[in-house]
Structure 1
Amino acid sequence: MADQVLKTHNLCAHYGDFQALFDLDLSIAEGEVIAIIGANGAGKTTLMRSIAGLNSNNAEQIVYRDEPIGALRADQVATKGIALVPEGRQLFPSLSVEENLIIGGRVGRKGPWNLKALYQLFPILEERRNQPSTSLSGGQQQMVAIGRALMANPDLILFDEISLGLAPVIIKTIYDALPNIIDDGMSAVIVEQDISKALAVSARFYCLQEGRVALEGDSQTVEREAISRAYFGVH
């Protein structure tokens, strides 16, 4: 089995008095794609934000390449090689498409991703590179958000709700690009509402239910009935 690139240990997360995650244990191997599924409010986005350093955690609760990183800030996590494609894209509205992409590269990590490579991956972005980022369609903005993350040349990329609110043709374009995105041994975590898509592109999955892991397993062999029970908390 490939080496673990990231693991969480008894990961908990709070928003004030509200606890969103309860003792989560999960792992991601080198070059592996895992899916995180679950209903709204299950804790998926909180998990992504915790790994990316946007939520404050204890250092030992998140370990990346044998280094505790749970207490690091988001900018410090990014320099380690973890990039987040956030839910809702969160582009900089005052900047052009290309300026948004360039910001991702300021992490300063070496690797295969640069503007030329991104424009080959998503040619429409080159055509629109001088436009304000928020003047693009939702699908094109998602491509910018993905591109911004890739410009950091991460070893682990986190996709939070990769297809939420997008037209089917755009979702297909983005998923068709995934093999090229993770071609060089990059690890990925995909949070996805569409269970079929999530399982199709991942090796393993974790189903969250009210902040806990309700089910985990092999994406290709799991029974849909088991997922349904875990997803809705039916025992």
Structure 2
Amino acid sequence: MPDALLSTRALVAHYGDFQALFGVSIDVQPEEVVAIIGANGAGKTTFMRSITGLIRNRPEMVVWKGQAIGGLRADQVAHLGIAMVPEGRQLFQSLSVEENLIIGGQMGRKGPWSLKTVQDLFPILKERRHVPATALSGGQQQMVAIGRALMANPEILLFDEISLGLAPIVIKSIYEALPAIIGEGMSAIIVEQDIAKAVSVSDRVYCLQEGRISLQGRPDELTREAISAAYFGV
């Protein structure tokens, strides 16, 4: 789509001789939430790493506002306004909660998110701001990871396995916070194994199966049977 904020165009990705993605083309419009679902090993994390420069590709395979960025380094991609909440959170264990958040703001991008607004969104992070980040519960660590990404004031936020390993009550609270997180004119890509959660918050859904898109459409267009068939490859 010519007016897409972010696009991948026939994206392929390899780990050495192993090919993980096979011609994946996805568009994200301004202020749109796109969900990417799929089983373990479907290529979801590889897709996110390709967008953010952690896996380098041919430049034309990833396009940001009409600019080919597939060959950029991760730090260059981040400066453009693309931030990710990574799978496993990847917090700095030697730093406090507040210090982890401050690192997210080092890009110097202007926007609505600051240490105060992140702490207003997740009050527990202010209460425990001097505690080592990795000493928190899994759900609280996920809040730190989300807050750190928000501190970069991105135009698009990528959530990689947002609910992985978290208790249901924690997942519920994080999804309840999503409207406030992406309600400031931001776009988002949500990678998720929980099909119902992903579909409930998205404008469009893509399903990956063995590195290929097996289904795409708007949530109200996709039946449960079609999603299940695309997800499991049956």
Q: Same fold (TM over 0.5)?
A: yes
Q: Please name the residue that 2:21 is paired with.
A: 21
Distance (whole Å) between structure 1 residues aligned to residue 109 and residue 99 of structure 2 = 18
Percent of aligned pairs with the same residue? 69
Provide the residue aligned with 1:230 in structure 2: 230
TM-score by length of structure 1 reads 0.98
Equivalent positions of 1:27-42 (< 5 A) are: 27-42=27-42
State the match for 1:195 in structure 2. Answer: 195
Counterparts of 1:63-74 in structure 2, within 5 Å, are 63-74=63-74
Aligned counterpart, 2:114:
114
Deviation at 1:221, TM superposition (A): 2.8
**Structure 1: runs of 5+ lacking an equivalent:** none
Deviations 1:116-169 (A, max 9, x none): 000100000000100000000000000000000000000000000000110111
Asked whether the 8 Å contact 1:9–1:62 carries over to 2, the reply is yes
Match of 2:50? Answer: 50
In the alignment, the residues of structure 2 paired with residue 181 and residue 129 of structure 1 have an alpha-carbon distance, to the nearest angstrom, of 20
CA distance in 2, matches of 1:12, 1:103: 31
CA distance in 1, matches of 2:220, 2:71: 34
Matching of residue 81 in structure 1 with residue 81 in structure 2: yes
Deviation at 1:102, TM superposition (A): 0.5
For structure 2, which runs of at least 5 residues remain unmatched after alignment?
none
Cα offset, 1:2, TM superposition = 9.9
1:153-201 residue CA offsets vs partner (Å, 9 max, x unmatched): 0000000000011011111111111000111210000001110000000
> Between Structure 1 and Structure 2, how many residues are aligned?
234
Shift of 1:3: 3.3
SS at match of 1:24: strand
Q: Deviations over 1:86-138 (max 9, x none)?
A: 00000000000000000000011000000000010000000010000000000
Q: 2: CA distance between counterparts of 1:231 and 1:67?
A: 32
Consecutive aligned runs of 4 or more in structure 1 exceeding 2 Å deviation: none
Corresponding letter in the other structure for 2:71: A
Alignment correspondent of 2:97: 97
Separation of aligned partners in 2, 1:169 and 1:126: 21
